[in-house]
Amino acid sequence: MNAVVTWLRDRIPVDLDSFRELTNEPVPHHLKRWWFCIGGTPAYLFVVQVVTGILLAIYYESSTQTAYESVRYITEEAAFGWYLRGLHKWGATLMIAAVILHQMRVYFTGAYLKPREPNWMVGMALLMSTLMLGFTGYSLVYEQLSFWGATVAANLTGSVPVVGSVLRELLLGAETYGRQTLPRFFILHAAVLPVLLILLLGVHIALIRLQGVTEFRFESEKDVPQKPFNFWPDHAYTEILIGLILMILLSTLATALPVTMGPKANPLVTPEVIKPEWFFYVAFRWLKLFSGTFAILSTGFIVFVMFAWPFIDAWIRKKTRFTEASVWIGIFAVLSIIGLTVWEALVEH
C-alpha cells in the first residue's frame, strides 16, 4: 500500500494531508440532525436522474413521429424499462420537492443573510433549472396532455412583452409546435440543463466551502457545548444512509405506482382539461386568475423578488422595525403556494 501511495505521490504532486484537510471540513454540530442533511438529497437524486436518463436515452427517439412509440416500448417491452422509467419519473418528483424544501429551510433559518446573498441567488437558479428539467422531461413523452401543456407554456412565453416572440421561437424552433420542437426539448433536457445544473451546483458547493455552513444553536442547547465534527465519517454516513433510504423509496414508488401512458398527442384535438405537472399548478392557477399581460408581468415580478429577497430583507431590517417580517411573509407565501396548488388540483378547469 505504501508503495502505491509513493508511486502516486511521485506522479501526482498533491499533498495528501492538504487534500484530506480540504475535503474533510469540520461540520457544525446541528448537522447531526438528519433533517439538516436535506441539502444533499437533490444532488443524490440528480445522480439517479443522470444514470436512469442515460439508460432511457438508449431507446428514446426525439421525433414527433417516433417519440411516443419509443416511450411505449420502454414502458411495456424493454427489459426493466418500466422500472427505469419509474425511477426517472419519481426521482424527478422527489428532486423538485427536495429542492423546494431545501430552499424553504434556507429561507426560514435566514441562511441567506450577508455574506450568503450570492449563494441564495445560485440556489434560486438551481430551483428554476430543476423546474425546467421537469417541464422538458414531461414534454418528451409526447402524450396529449404533455403536448398541449407545452403549447400553452409556449403561448404564455410568447406573451412576455418585447422578447416573448423570440423566446417562444427559441423554445419551439418555430412559431408553433412542430417537428423541431421535440429535438429542442430533448437537447435542453439531456444536455443544456444538466450541464447548467452541474455548473451551478459546483458554484453552490464552492461558496459553501468558502463561507462555511451557517451554524444554528437551539434554545434547548444554549448551555451545552457544541463542537463541530468531521465530514468524514460521521456526516458522510448520514448522507449515505439517506441515499439508501431514498433508493428504497424510489424502488417502492416505481413498483407500487408504475408510470403509465396517456393517449398520444393529437395537434388537431384540444383536450377538455389541460393541466401541467403538479409543480406548475401554482403558476397555472395564478395565470388563470389574472389572465393577460398582468399575469405574465406579475409572475416575472414575483420571480425577481424571490431572487433579490436577501437584499430586500436586509433593507427591511435596516430601514424599519419589522426585523422578523421575512418569517410572516414566508408563512404567507407558503400558505398561498399550498392553497393555489390544492385549488388547481381539485378543480377540473
pLDDT at 19: 63
Helix axes 41-57, 236-256, angle to 10 degrees: 50
Residue 343: partners with Cβ closer than 8 Å, 6 or more residues away: 285
Interval 53-76: pLDDT, tens: 999 999 999 999 999 999 999 999
Q: What is the pLDDT of residues 11-44, one digit of tens each?
A: 766 666 666 666 666 677 666 676 666 778 999 9
What are φ and ψ of residue 308, in 5° steps? -90, 5
Distance separating alpha carbons of residues 23 and 41, to the nearest angstrom: 19
Whether the CB-CB separation of 294 and 301 falls below 8 Å is answered with no
**Mean pLDDT, residues 262-272:** 91
What was the pLDDT predicted at 159?
Answer: 82
The answer to whether the beta carbons of residues 293 and 96 sit under 8 Å apart is: no
Q: What would the mean pLDDT of 278-293 be, rounded to a whole number? A: 87
Q: From the CA atom positions of the chain, what is the Rg in Å?
A: 23
Closest CA to 303 of 175, 197, 160, 110: 160
Q: What is the mean pLDDT of residues 146-151?
A: 92
What is the C-alpha to C-alpha distance for residues 143 and 171, in angstroms, rounded to an integer? 18
Helix (H, G, I), strand (E, B) or coil at 26: strand
- Between CA 300 and CA 292 the distance in angstroms is 13
Exposure class string for 144-165: b at 16+ Cβ within 10 A, else e: bbbbbbbbebbebbbbbeeebe
- Which residue pairs, CB below 8 angstroms and at least 24 apart, start in 183-189? 183/62, 183/63, 185/62, 185/136, 185/139, 185/140, 185/150, 186/60, 186/62, 186/136, 186/140, 188/132, 188/136, 189/133, 189/136, 189/137, 189/140
Interval 80-91 mean pLDDT? 96
Share of the chain above pLDDT 90, in %: 59
pLDDT at 272 over 90: no
Average pLDDT over residues 274-300: 87
Per the model's pLDDT, the better-predicted residue between 277 and 349 turns out to be: 277
Which helix (H) or strand (E) covers residue 230, if one does? strand 229-230
pLDDT of residue 174: 87
Asked if pLDDT for residue 276 goes beyond 70, the answer is yes
Tell me the one-letter amino acid at 69. Answer: E
pLDDT in tens, 89-136: 999 999 999 999 999 989 998 989 999 999 999 999 999 999 999 999
User: So what's the pLDDT on residue 156?
Assistant: 83
pLDDT band at 340 (very low <50, low <70, confident <90, very high): very high
Phi first, then psi: give them for residue 144, nearest 5 degrees.
Answer: -60, -50
Question: DSSP labels for 27-88?
Answer: E-GGGGSGGGGGGGHHHHHHHHHHHHHHHHHTT---STTTHHHHHHHHHHTSTTHHHHHHHH
So what's the pLDDT on residue 239? Answer: 82
